[in-house]
Amino acid sequence: MLVQVCVTLLTTALLVVSACYTESPPEQRWWAGGNVVACLGLGLTSVESLPVLLHGVIGYGVVAFGLALVLRGLRVHCAANLSWPAIGVITAIALLIPAWFTLVAPSLRARLCFSGFYFALLNWLCAVVVARHGVWRVSIVSLTGFVLLGLALFLRGVHMLLHGDLADRSSSLAMGLSTLAIPLAQICIAFGLIQMVMWRYAERLRRLSTLDALTGALNRAGLDLQGKRVGLRALRGGRSLAVIMIDVDYFKQINDTHGHPVGDEVLRHLARLLKLELRPHDLMARFGGEEFVLVLDGVDRAAALNIAERVRARIEDAVVDWEGVSVRYTASLGVVCSDQHSYDLIRLISAGDVAMYEAKRAGRNRVAVG
């Protein structure tokens, strides 16, 4: 019991410290607050010298309130929420049933059975949220912790149901194993929750380093990283690799006439149009300024030309609306393929750039093949 209390305090302190900085996400604060509240509830239920209303009723409600806060934090992490009325219901159940078995029909056995089953259910609800919305390789640690903690509490409830006499030692092995499982589960949960937040931050940093903030397309670094993989995959599979370079015509004139916010909206609009042509394994990148590039795996020269012409027509027909301003624009496109060039992405982009400028010299708003 002493080890269990110490581990509970240490894991709670770990979550609190990890949440005590300005940029901490809200779910960390819910997790830390929930663990602090649950610890207070455990303290109340453990001190039998307190009035029976405190250790036999209020303590269970405080524990349930803490677990509900943890559950809310998990749902916030998964872009959902848990309403305060739902938290109130979770807490009220943990108050009313122990109150019945404490004040109306006193039964320590029934109260302990209920607490084991009910708190096991709350931990398994947390596990369900993690399993449904988490990334397995990241959330497996916290998922294991919630499942294990729920199982340990459930076994304690079963033990009290089958062996109501607290002095009965016939199931001491099961109780000992559950006592060991609880601190192990708490460690898994604490480190697993922190790992989930760290992974979220790592993904955010990866996106910042490889994606263009304005359009959501890959930037030059992201194109270089992922483009090599796509080229190597196409080469190994014996498939064609096509590159389409796209440049907005007279983009400087759009900025000078309507302002940079309208120019930014034109670039976002173009990115949305280009995404319509992408398959899951294709790439789109903002190559610089108003210039974009598509890398198409398994597309030959003729198919790439058809795609480029379709994109050009969509751009020509589209109207960009931004705060009462309507703008039409066109684009020049250059198409190249590994059938005529190598699989080296840098060479393909260079050849596509040449073809694109050929389209500009030929009058713009057209497709040229390199």
Whole-Å CA distances, 45 to 56, 115, 182, 190: 6, 11, 16, 22
More confident position, 18 or 60: 60
H-only helix segments in 100-135: 108-133
Contacts (Cβ under 8 Å, ≥6 apart) of 327: 254, 258, 262, 266, 319, 320, 321
Question: Which residues, 6 or more positions from 361, have their beta carbon under 8 angstroms from its beta carbon?
Answer: none
> Beta-carbon neighbour count of residue 132 at 10 Å?
9
Kindly list the distances between the CA atom of residue 83 and the CA atoms of 26, 29, 69, 146, in Å, as whole numbers in the listed order.
15, 16, 10, 21
What is the rounded CA–CA span in Å between residue 171 and residue 179?
12
The answer to whether residue 317 scores a pLDDT higher than 70 is yes
Domain extent listing, the chain: 2-210, 220-369
The residue ranking higher by pLDDT, 365 or 167, is: 365
Q: DSSP states of 30-88 as a string?
A: HHHHHHHHHHHHHHHHH-TTS-HHIIIIIHHHHHHHHHHHHHHHHHHHTT----HHHHH
320 vs 311: CA distance, rounded Å? 15
Q: What is the pLDDT of residues 103-119, one digit of tens each?
A: 899 988 898 899 999 99
Nearest partner of 130 among 60, 199, 74, judged by Cα: 74
The enclosing H or E element of 321 equals: strand 320-322
DSSP alpha helix (H) spans, 238-361: 251-258, 260-275, 301-317, 345-361
Give the pLDDT of residue 197. 85
Taking only the tens place, the pLDDT of each residue in 270-307 is 999 999 888 888 999 999 889 999 999 999 999 999 99
Structurally, at CATH architecture level, domain 2-210 sits in Up-down Bundle (1.20)
What tokens were used for 28?
Answer: 């960390």
Q: Distance from CA of residue 242 to its chain's centroid? A: 32
Residue 163, token pair as written in the block? 């062996």
CA distance readout (Å), 127 to 87, 139, 146, 189? 17, 10, 5, 10
What value does the mean pLDDT of the chain take?
A: 88
Report which secondary-structure segment, H or E, holds 284. Answer: strand 283-288
- Interior CA angle at 86 toward 80 and 122, to 5°? 85
* Residue 324 φ/ψ region, left for φ over 0, alpha for ψ in the -120 to 50 degree band, beta for the rest: left
Strands 331-337 vs 367-369: parallel, antiparallel or unpaired = parallel
CA 134 – CA 150 distance, rounded (Å): 19
Report which listed range, 29-33, 68-72, 162-166, 206-210, is most confident: 68-72
Domain at 220-369, CATH from 3.90.220.20, 3.30.70.270, 3.30.70.370, 3.90.10.10? 3.30.70.270
d(CA 133, CA 75): 9
Catalytic residues: 290
pLDDT over 70 at 165, yes or no? no
Position 169 pLDDT exceeds 80:
no
